[in-house]
Amino acid sequence: MTTENAEILWNDRKHHLWFPLSFTSYYIEDDRLMIKKGLLSTTLDETLLYRIIDISFQQTLAGKIFGTGNVILKTKADASHEIVLENIAKPLEVRKMLSKLAEESRDKRNVVGKEFYSSDHMDLDGDGICDFDE
């Protein structure tokens, strides 16, 4: 599951009630959120942390009882704009950690808010006015 010299900052599996019995695992390494799914056929999805733009949290009554919940990530990614970490343990702690790591990743890469705007709100000449809004 890990690559050479990669430090895993967090890992978990999709839970059923409180049991982590699933072939879906989540982990963070090298400024990337990795989602690995499958048993016989495996897929691995990777999202750069700096592309996470919004994080929310969802928990059912059963989730409150068993300490699990969903963390929903809105991303500025090509493949999927919403990633759901389903039924993970300690979801509030994971949400806080992901928020902090995403912010640190943006700071490290000098990514500012304008990197996340869609092309229809671009300031092409640098005058502070969105050229497509005129």
Q: If you ran DSSP here, which 8-state letter would residue 115 be given?
A: G
The pLDDT of 11-34, averaged and rounded, is 87
- pTM, two decimals, is 0.76
Least confident of 7-11, 52-56, 125-129: 125-129
Residue 118: is its pLDDT beyond 60?
A: no
The pLDDT of 114-134, averaged and rounded, is 48
The total of other beta-carbon atoms located within 10 Å of residue 132's CB is 12
The pLDDT of 12-26, averaged and rounded, is 83
The whole-angstrom separation of Cα 58 and Cα 72 is: 8
More confident residue, 97 or 80: 97
Give 115's Cβ-side CA count (13 Å radius). Answer: 14
Residue 68: name the closest of 55, 82, 86, 83 by CA: 86
> What does the chain come to in residues?
134
pLDDT given for residue 124 in this prediction = 45
The full set of domains in the chain, from first to last, is: 8-111 (2.30.29.30)
The pLDDT of 11-33, averaged and rounded, is 87
pLDDT given for residue 120 in this prediction = 47
Residue 129: name the closest of 66, 121, 16, 56 by CA: 121
- The answer to whether 48 touches 105, Cβ cutoff 8 Å, is yes
More confident residue, 108 or 129: 108
Per-residue pLDDT tens digits for 58-89: 999 999 999 999 999 999 876 778 999 999 99
Q: Which pair of tokens denotes residue 95?
A: 């949400």
